[in-house]
Amino acid sequence: MTEIPRSPFGRTGHQSTRTLFGAAALGRVTQAEADQTMELLLDSGVNHIDTANSYGESEQRLGPWTGRYRDRFFLATKTEERSYAAAKEHLHRSLDLLRTDHIDLWQMHCLVKPDEWERAMGAGGALEAFIEAREQGLVRFIGVTGHYTVAGWMHRRSLERYDFDSVLLPFNYAMMQNATYRADFDSLMAICAERDVAVQTIKSCTRGPWAGEARTAATWYEPFSEQSEVDAAVHWVLNRPGVFLNTPGDIHLLPKVLDAARRFVPGPQDERDAAMADLAPTPLFM
């Protein structure tokens, strides 16, 4: 089986597969389904897992695997808590559920609201817990994540406040048609390249918001589902040097995404854009 290409994950020294496992997909599955998914990841050579304490039962489902195969995965998790005490409590819960004595990358999750940013970065805020955890060896690296069209701008603000090791934000064809978001994203990429900060991207396979009540996937948006569509979306993201693609939150979509990632070869950007334009995706965030 052709392996997914690897690339340096920023300054961490880890060679991560450019397609990272978005473990939100394990939030509402059985342990048997999680086991099948983890077998697929091992077979595919994926060596980087991104989860969060708020992703349902994801950390619990991962525990038997991260406990047994700890050296096979760069392990990342997140907290949405903004105070020192609550964030510290979340970290220890994650360590217990993941059956490990350390997290490779701990991230402030969805830090895009100004009032929450002030709390997290201020006295008694979560950043103090993050720095302490790194000093204690419980965490190796520190990152920040964000959703919505303000993510790029807010990440730049966060990097001005602290030298984070990674950022995570949406990146797909539809969102990049927003001129403001595109400018913020490109500016963030330049800063991250200069500082060797890893850039993770989400929402690669988004077709648009769900229409109506019927939903056929675990994602909170409607994803592309045909292999040709997934190919176009995944290849569009991977065609941008310097970014990692976090897989969508659905275990049934995962094999198609991994298949597309294995077959990726760089190509002309105008051809990638044309393929996505033909699919007519709509943005989740305005």
Residue-wise pLDDT for 144-177, tens only, equals 999 999 999 999 999 999 999 999 999 999 999 9
Q: Assess if residue 238 is contained within a domain.
A: no
Q: Assess if residue 220 is contained within a domain.
A: no
CA 202 to chain centre: 6
Instruction: Give the end-to-end CA distance of the chain in Å, rounded to a whole number.
Output: 40
Q: Assess if residue 223 is contained within a domain.
A: no
Tell me the C-alpha distance between 233 and 186, whole Å: 19
Contacts (Cβ under 8 Å, ≥6 apart) of 175:
149, 181, 203, 283, 284, 285
Residue-wise pLDDT for 201-229, tens only, equals 999 999 999 987 788 888 989 999 999 99
Q: What is the pLDDT of residue 211?
A: 86
Residue 8, SS3 per DSSP: strand
Pairing of strands 103-108, 139-145: parallel
Q: Assess if residue 274 is contained within a domain.
A: no
Name the residue range of residue 127's domain. Answer: 6-205+244-250
For residue 107, give the CATH number of its domain.
Answer: 3.20.20.100
Which amino acid appears at position 171 of this protein? F
Q: What is the pLDDT of residue 215?
A: 86
Contacts (Cβ under 8 Å, ≥6 apart) of 31:
61, 64
Query: Is pTM, for the whole model, over 0.85?
Result: yes
Q: Assess if residue 159 is contained within a domain.
A: yes
Q: What is the pLDDT of residue 68?
A: 94
What residues in the chain have per-residue pLDDT under 70?
A: 1
Tell me the C-alpha distance between 62 and 38, whole Å: 8
Q: Assess if residue 51 is contained within a domain.
A: yes
Q: Assess if residue 156 is contained within a domain.
A: yes
Domain total in the chain? 1
Q: Assess if residue 23 is contained within a domain.
A: yes
